[in-house]
Structure 1
Amino acid sequence: MMLERRHARGRNITAANTYQGGYTQAAQQMRDNQRADTAAIQSTRKELQRMQRIKRERAQRARELDMRKNQGMRIDIKDIDARKALKNLKPAIGTTVAQTSAQFDGRIAAATDRLAHLSEAAKRYDGTIWMNVMPSSRRELTRIPNDHAIADQPDMPSIGPRDRIGISGPNGSGKTALIRRLIEALERDEAQRHSERMPYLYIPQNSSDMDTANAMNRLHALTDEQRAIVLSAYAQLNADPDRLLAGGNPSPGELRKLLLCLGMIEQPQLIIMDEPTNHLDLHSKQALANTLSSYAGALVAVSHDEWFLNAVTSIRWRCAS
């Protein structure tokens, strides 16, 4: 089952749809469905516009007939419609117009209702959110105590300024503990350095109500320009900034997106994300992968989604069970 953002009745909604097979098959089925939905909407809109045009043309024709009859004008013998109207002694101006327009009202209403019940994929935003983010000038960002958690790696594997590391492994294999050791190593290294602190962003797997409140407070504390940048980036991650502005709290998946967008203000040179695709629908996963792929700094991502790690990382660490 996939959660998808759809646009229907003038607003975005979340729909749960079931697809067969793995990610690749599901993505193909979703694209096929989107093409079919778009074609149905375009066809219905075209038919609706056609009927509205015919209604206007027939109404105009009816007005002309009424005016000619009311003024006693001679009707061309070849004008069958006009002769029928004259023969039937239609009433004066307005009646024919109303009757002619009414013929299409039912068909137009049915097409309008059909269009209202059709939905299409919600608008997605392209581009990059990483304005002026540059990799660190350090040759090495940090080293992590391995403690035999990472298979086929030295005791103190290092992270370079442009490394893109994907961490995978079964549950209970120590992935989150490895991330904790990474954070500790970074903080220890920064405390020992006398140079400028390296900005980094850590987004944990689990969040609390306090995390949500802090994120919303940070959003509202931004300048208007910064808030516009953050919300624009948030929209690019397939999220709805209007809901945040209206006072709604983000879901766990939306909170991860918001934390990533808030973090970009600090121009982080390292991003660490623990299970970033949890609670995300398919489009949001794709948007996140596209966004992280364009990030110029170092990335460490823990995930069970192999396709996601393949899309955003080039170095793989596998935790032993």
Structure 2
Amino acid sequence: MPSTTPIRCQGLAFTYPGAPSPVFHGLDAVFTPGWTAVLGDNGIGKSTLMRMLTGELTPQSGAITPSTAGLVKAYCPQRIDERPATLDDFAQDWSPETMGIRRALGIGDDWPYRYGTLSEGEAKRVQIACALARRPDVLILDEPTNHVDEPTSLAISTAMNAFRGVGVLVSHDPELIDALCQRCVWFLRRHAGDVNETVVRTFDGGYTQAREQLAHDDRRDEQMRDRAVGEANRLHDVLRRRSADVQRAEAIKRHGSAIDRRDHDLRERRNTAKALSTDGVASRALAQVQRRAARAGELAASAGTAAKRYAGDIWFEARPSTRRELMRIGPGLVDFATGALIGDRSGETTHADDRPLPSAWSTLVVDGEQTPGDTGSAASIRDEGGAPTALRIPLLSVGPRDRIGVSGPNGLGKTTLLRALLRNGAAVPTLAIAQTMPDGTAEQAMGELGGLRPPLRAQVLASYAQLNADPDRLLEGANPSPGELRKLMLCLGIAHHPELVVMDEPTNHLDLSSQQALAQALRDFPGAVILVSHSGWFLDRTTTVRWSVG
């Protein structure tokens, strides 16, 4: 049976080597049996806390009690290209408990033996199954519904609901959090003075209840800050007036000017000067106002409020293509293994292309020119075992201002369709960002950022900030999180003035505020957009044409 002992984090602090400021300090949180959601912006410290819970990192101050060293811990990472360490054990585990996990997640018997060929959603299910099969005391799932379609998300939720240990869910999926979680631990950036700091608050209930409480707290903090600023301004006005009166009266005394007995106002100021000045030292009354004004100013400066959110205004010098058509492909079949067009089973043939596929994130220009055609739906072709081998497509065309959303279940060829489109596009600057980033992408992106001319680097960082990211962390040399990396890649690509943006699952790894900022940015892009996503609201907000793969 899993442990039912709560895990308590008290006063945790951690600073990465070379970083000028801590990731967090004084962090308090409690993880009780059942599911607790951990929320917050990309790069704010959630993964650091998870690494502490697993024992991979040791806090530099504070404590985690009881120690998790004697507990069975299982961690399911965000990235689906990380092969589970216990995959071989899972493949040979036919116990009733593990068989129940397989059924709940719809995992085929052969999946563990061909992990490298699984779709993103299938791989995520296997990762979660391997974690559950360990019968852990503490189970940490990091963005478990990334990469997955709605049926898979429901299967994952059902399997998670059966877990009875201490469950920690790092997620930006409101529906999943509302369905499973009894509390939310929320990492927040608060603005105080001239800096942002990270604080952690715990709210009862799921996402909806926690969000309402957070909005209430934000309104209260804003009102408290406004009152503190107003009082500080009022006292400083009083201080300025009294100081001015003292200075005028002192000047009159120094000059020894006679005062007309009928000038009651000037005589009053002179009398005030006598009361407020003794050998040039401020009186107790004036000093008291000075102290009150100073305290009010300190209170106003320290009053924390929610850090500013941005609206995704990122495009500079972007224009649509002057071509009538950017892409044309089909009708025919697209090979799953290569993304190349192959002969149609109806007897028709299409152009086969052996040009190399674009890299996962580079700005690319492909050659070839087509003429306009009709758009339509796509269907996958399966082998006798049910695995898709090719994607049958109609004639598909992309115009210079088209906004196309591609949707459909996992494993049926959405990513394959993108690869085929990129092989057969016109010679226009294209920004393509893949769903999964290869190793070394972060280092390559940081290197490109560092090599930009200062004015262009400033534009890239300004765009990055508009996507609810923190440019200071990049300038400090911090390694970007998966969500921050996607934002950085987009902003670096903008510097090449693309006329077409292609993104596969663009909301993966992004916090909710960043998803909204990205949706606004893509909606404002003046060129053509092709987006693959399981998020219906995101496609509804960013695209006007839908291609469905079924």
Q: Same fold (TM over 0.5)?
A: yes
Structure 1 pair 102–110 and aligned structure 2 pair: CA distance change class (3 A)? same
Over 3 Å counting, the alpha-carbon distance change for 1:111 and 1:243 in structure 2 is same
Equivalent pair of 1:130/1:294 in contact (CA under 8 Å): no
- Structure 1 counterpart of 2:317: 131
Matching residue of 2:483:
253
**Equivalent residue number for residue 111 of structure 2:** none
Deviation at 1:160, TM superposition (A): 1.5
Quickly say closer, same or farther: Cα 1:9–1:252, change in 2 above 3 A. Answer: farther
Offset, 1:314: 1.8
Q: Is 1:108 aligned to residue 347 of structure 2? A: no
Q: 1:15 to 1:256 in 2, by over 3 A?
A: farther
Displacement of 1:69 after TM fit? 8.0
Maintained 8 Å contact 1:19/1:29: no
Deviation at 1:134, TM superposition (A): 1.5
**Does the 8 A contact of 1:164 with 1:314 survive in 2?**
yes
Higher relative contact order (CA 8 A, sep 6+): 1
Contact 1:142 1:186 in 2 (8 A): no
Which of 224, 229, 235 is the aligned partner of 2:459?
229
Give the drift of 1:291.
1.0
In angstroms, what is the RMSD of aligned CA positions? 4.1
Residue 5 of structure 1 and its aligned partner are, at CA, apart by 5.0
Q: Secondary structure at the match of 1:228?
A: helix
Q: Secondary structure at the match of 1:133?
A: coil
Residues 90-148 of structure 1 deviation map (CA, whole Å, 9 limit, x = unaligned): 872333x1523331344334423432132243263664515243144326443574443
The residue that corresponds to 2:393 in the other structure is 156
**Separation in 1, partners of 2:252, 2:226:** 39
Which consecutive residues of structure 1, in runs of 5 or more, have no partner in the other structure?
191-195
8 Å contact from structure 2 (residues 414, 532) kept in 1: no
Q: Which residue of 1 aligns with 2:427?
A: 197
CA contact (8 A) 1:237 1:257 kept: yes
Of 289, 305, 308, which aligns to 1:119?
Answer: 305
For 1:200-251, what per-residue CA distance to the aligned partner results, in whole angstroms no more than 9, with x for missing partners? 2221233355100111112223334432332232232232333323333322
Written as runs of structure 1 = structure 2, the 5 A alignment for 1:47-66 is 47-62=231-246
Supply the distance in 2 between the matched residues of 1:19 and 1:302 (Cα, whole angstroms): 35
Q: Deviations over 1:124-178 (max 9, x none)?
A: 36645152431443264435744438xxxx93042412332333455xx226x52
Distance in structure 1 (CA, Å) of the matches to 2:308 and 2:520:
17
Partner of 2:406: 167
Q: Cα 1:242–1:125, aligned 2, differ >3 Å: closer, same or farther?
A: farther
Higher deviation after alignment, 241-250 or 28-37: 28-37
Residue of structure 2 equivalent to 1:94: 280
Tell me the secondary structure at the aligned position of residue 405 of structure 2: strand
Cα distance between partner residues in 1 of 2:196 and 2:218: 15
Deviating more after overlay: 299-308 vs 258-267: 299-308
Return the alpha-carbon distance in structure 2 between the equivalents of residues 2 and 228 of structure 1.
Answer: 26
For the Cα contact (< 8 Å) 1:67–1:93, is it kept in 2? no
Aligned to 1:241: 471
Q: What TM-score does the superposition give when structure 1 sets the normalisation length? A: 0.73
- Cα 1:107–1:303 change in 2 (3 A) is farther
Contact 1:34 1:121 in 2 (8 A): no
Q: Note closer, same or farther for the CA distance 1:123–1:107 as it changes in structure 2 (3 Å cut).
A: farther
1:19 is displaced (CA, Å) by: 9.8
Partner of residue 217 from structure 1, selected from 447, 450, 469: 447
* TM-aligned CA distance change 1:125 to 1:307, over 3 Å: closer
Q: Are residues 289 and 185 of structure 1, via their aligned partners in 2, closer, same or farther at CA, if it must alter by over 3 Å?
A: closer
Whichever structure has more strand as a proportion of its residues is 2
| Residue 262 of structure 1, CA deviation | 1.4
Q: Does structure 1 residue 41 correspond to structure 2 residue 41?
A: no
Structure 2 CA distance for partners of 1:125 and 1:301, relative to 1, 3 Å: closer
Deviation (angstroms), 1:82: 7.7
Task: Give 5+ residue unaligned stretches, structure 2.
Answer: 1-38, 42-187, 335-377, 382-390
